[in-house]
Amino acid sequence: MLRPFLFFITQPSSWYKGQQTKTVKSISRCFKIILNSINSMGMPFY
């Protein structure tokens, strides 16, 4: 589940090359929201 997020954060594609910083920040924000929702549901984090 984490691999797509890590891929987009570490391997910037050409389609958002001009807006890389903005895209990485938005992806990171969504990633944190997902992690917080998983943690709040009490699921074990692997």
Residue 38 host element (H or E) = helix 20-40
For residue 34, tell me if it sits in a domain. yes
Q: What is the pTM of this model?
A: 0.44
Q: Determine the structural domain holding residue 25 and report its residue range.
A: 3-41
User: What is residue 4's predicted lDDT score, i.e. its pLDDT?
Assistant: 62
User: What is residue 26's predicted lDDT score, i.e. its pLDDT?
Assistant: 84
For residue 46, tell me if it sits in a domain. no
- Count: domains in the chain: 1
The answer, yes or no, to whether residue 3 has pLDDT greater than 60, is: yes
Q: Write phi, then psi, for 16 (nearest 5 degrees).
A: -125, 30
pLDDT, tens digit, 9 for 90 and up, residues 12-43: 555 556 666 777 788 888 888 888 887 777 65
CA 3 to CA 36: how far, in whole Å? 17
For residue 28, tell me if it sits in a domain. yes
